[in-house]
Amino acid sequence: MNIKKEIFGQCPRGEKVFLYTLVNPNGITVKITNYGAIITSVTMPDKNGLRENVVLGFNTLDEYLSSEYLASYPYFGAVCGRYCNRIAGGKFTVEGVNYQLYINNGPNSLHGGQTGFDKMVWAPKTIEMPDFVGLELKYRSVHLEENYPGNLDISILYKLTHKNELQIEYKAVTDRTTVVNLTNHTYFNLNCGKENVLNHQLQINSKKRTVNDGNLIPTGEIADITNTPFDFSITKPVGQDIAALSDGYDLNYPLGNQDHKLLFAGKLSEMQTGRSVSVFTTEPGIQLYTGYYIPTLDRRFGRYSGLALETQHYPDSPNHPEFPTTVLHPGETYKSKTSLHFETSH
């Protein structure tokens, strides 16, 4: 197990940004930058021992900062917050006070607003232990940053273990009542982009979905999806039923995880390479997004070039008291854990 640090670039405001490379003995290498807490690459072997990057990302900070990328921004590998996913109209109420967020996704606020956690420079600290190497990232989101209430102190711990697990542990505390919903927005393509992800095999541990309106905001209805195009409870190709949808999948699957235990949420596999990633989480939901708006950049990426499995609370929860709460009070600690298990079958 080892970890190394190198310069990744410099932000327009002058902050130096670093890239951290976490390596385990089994051929798994994870690269993370403290800009946006972004996972830039995950290298793993295929069934023939070929090691390739299986997530969408860039090799330089300048590419993440480029106007071309930001114009059609897909949040490659970033931590999204203060509230990931959508809030209807960018509006919510906490303790009788109304808050209006920045509108950046049709009529809604998405992934924290104009300048979310995905564009912040986090304070890094490396950790080396016998059975894992880790990177702890900290950030203070000040009161009314992006118009969210409260000073929020966040820490994220990335741990690469000798068991081929990438664990992501989130913690946050606030000095005023606020809302919090954090996720990592990594896109997977287990054949390293040689094809899109429509032939990947996907299983999601749920037979329900939150029903959305035309703006991808939940109506409040939780629908049974057995034997519908939305049903991945039995493993099937990602693209098997995608023609029945106008654009592809972008929806929340409730996991029935009321006790906040680390439970199996889903598994993505690719038969030609033998690679798979299994997702375990303490979160109550998982958002499947098949990347139908991923831009084509320098003849790379494009529609369906990657698939995101975002562990999180439900979209627009602050406006749905019947959903698991995303409200955080002073004296409480927000805690969330997601574990990605990388495997290769021969």
Query: By the 8 A CB rule, do 318 and 218 touch?
Result: no
CA 13 from centroid of its chain's CA atoms: 26
CA distance 324 to 79: 21
Query: By the 8 A CB rule, do 164 and 156 touch?
Result: no
Find residue 127's DSSP bridge partners.
134
Which is the catalytic residue, given 145, 270, 310, 313?
Answer: 310
Which is the catalytic residue, given 52, 111, 146, 185?
Answer: 185
Please state whether the peptide bond connecting residue 176 to the residue before it is cis, i.e. omega within 30 degrees of 0: no
* 313 assigned to active site: no
> Considering just the CA atoms, what is the radius of gyration of the chain in Å?
19
Secondary-structure breakdown of the chain: helix, strand, coil percentages, each rounded to the nearest 5: 10, 45, 45
Contacts of 121 (CB under 8 A, 6+ apart): 11, 15, 17, 34, 35
Would you list the DSSP string of 68-81?
HHHHT---TT-EE-
| Residue 81 phi, psi dihedral angles, 5° rounding | 180, 175
Please name the amino acid found at residue 107. Answer: P
Tokens of 224: 């049974």
CA distance 155 to 158: 10
* 310 assigned to active site: yes
Query: By the 8 A CB rule, do 184 and 77 touch?
Result: yes
Closest to 206 in 3D by CA, of 245, 268, 258, 252: 252
Q: Which residues are catalytic?
A: 185, 310
